[in-house]
Structure 1
């Protein structure tokens, strides 16, 4: 790294590049004397866009983040930009999450047919275990069809197959300028998204913590409190982004409200909780919410999922 150039690493998808552009816009304004260059890194998940996430037999972290993290640790890039939901709750050794930028829309979105207009037996595209489970819980008559790949090809395939819609992150569609594809933004109280959905994970090397000062203009305390609670819950449940745990925290004044749900893969069982706590202690709220879910039977659901892997 020179004094005037910083290399930003990310996946090579259109969405990952859009996320980096979003990340860099305020930095270039705040630091006009620094040259920021983007480097794309091909990940396992980008190379195989056909197999289902479950068939790949890896955690989503290893599929979508490992190669980017390795490039960061080798010094090939100075900052790694991820989707925070793809990163484990336990930091990779020698890395550090520098800042938490303001969150995009955290909700899931149904493209195509609006939710209220879905007919009996509708066919919906998604490969996410959480989305499949929650959809089966809310609408057991609906059939899910696995589709992988970048957002535009998924939408194209959904139309070509004559499906009623596709479930995706609203943030991804909006970042790609494709918000017009959204038929319904799903109610997070009924259909809580993945923990940290819509948030950028800005990762630096542990020994480069001075970069955190440079990145400070991007930090959003409200988003940080929310995702800290969500990820604390996920850590307490010993879950990851490939298990059907949904959670969304929102700041309401000086309080933090967290809604969370664990859903059986077949949708037959779901346990949920809604709790509040001081925004200054999001970790406690996340842990208490996880304990409440476990007391309702979440461990039985999660253990069954682990046994199938």
Structure 2
């Protein structure tokens, strides 16, 4: 490897507790890897406020959707103010700015959504007409489809503030990503996970994306050591699906890929994708298997278009 000893690597991140926690976990992993390869790196965290952090009183779908939590961080990368950036993969748009790339996708943790309820009930046991807080159109669409009686209402903010709103704003339940609670060490706060056949996760949910400049070969070589090939393949398939549908936060879209077989040299992926109406009246799902993640993503998108996804996309403006 052509890594320089003594370099200080500046890592850009949002300033929420979750973002700082997962960035710290990434830095610990990179520090261990660089030490194992005889490199004397130090790391510095640069906190960056994004548009999504500033606008907390409007649902994401109404203020631009994907990209809200990454644009300012990507600009800092392009301006060489930082050397790499740690994102929640589900926040990353399909198209990255010219000159930037995903340098590593570390091993994914629990991709599912989870429900936190005041009374300890699971989703199926919530009382008729229960108020459920989520600002995700994807979650709302699938939950409304599963339980049409539920009242889905928006709730924004960081994990802690959303959990507080469960009590202070009279919600019966809120829905969060299990991965965020896991990374914070708050697994005991979950009432129950939502299985993927009930609520298909967001593209890349549970995975991190570590973004860097294409020209920075030193950082790219370091990040290549931190990449998890199976997670990267699965996320590539999901992101290909997202790109093929040109989807963002304005449209209820979900996807989840796993390694389902094949060989070590050529793993087979299973990808399930969904598109739904915001009101949950229609939720379309298709599943396909294949070994090429980009082709598989497009195949699932085409299969959904064939059964009516185009109509949903055009109605919403996708």
TM-score, normalised to structure 2, is 0.92
Q: Report the secondary structure of 1:210's partner residue.
A: helix
User: Structure 2: how far apart are the matches of 1:185 and 1:145?
Assistant: 20
Residue of structure 2 aligned with 1:19, choices 19, 22, 29: 22
TM-score, normalised to structure 1, is 0.94
2:17 paired with 1:9: no
Alignment of 1:126-137 (within 5 A): 126-137=134-145
Match of 1:270 in 2: 283
* Residues 80, 204 of structure 1: 8 Å contact kept: yes
2:304 paired with 1:299: no
User: Structure 1: how far apart are the matches of 2:240 and 2:26?
Assistant: 24
Residue of structure 2 aligned with 1:48, choices 26, 36, 55: 55
Alignment of 1:1-309 (within 5 A): 3-32=6-35, 33-56=40-63, 58-61=64-67, 63-112=68-117, 113-254=121-262, 255-278=268-291, 281-306=292-317
User: Structure 2: how far apart are the matches of 1:223 and 1:46?
Assistant: 27
- Cα shift at 1:59: 2.6
* Residues 115, 183 of structure 1: 8 Å contact kept: no
Using a 3 Å threshold, how does the CA distance of structure 1 residues 284 and 60 change in structure 2: closer, same or farther? closer
* Residues 61, 249 of structure 2: 8 Å contact kept: no
* Residues 5, 41 of structure 2: 8 Å contact kept: no
User: Structure 2: how far apart are the matches of 1:24 and 1:148?
Assistant: 28
Equivalent pairs counted in the alignment come to 303
User: Structure 1: how far apart are the matches of 2:5 and 2:13?
Assistant: 20
- Cα shift at 1:2: 8.9
User: Structure 2: how far apart are the matches of 1:203 and 1:242?
Assistant: 24
Query: Which aligned runs of 4 or more in structure 1 are off by greater than 6 angstroms?
Result: none
Q: Report the secondary structure of 1:286's partner residue.
A: helix
Which runs of 5 or more residues in structure 1 are unaligned? none
User: Structure 1: how far apart are the matches of 2:62 and 2:261?
Assistant: 44
Which runs of 5 or more residues in structure 2 are unaligned? 263-267
- Cα shift at 1:102: 0.5
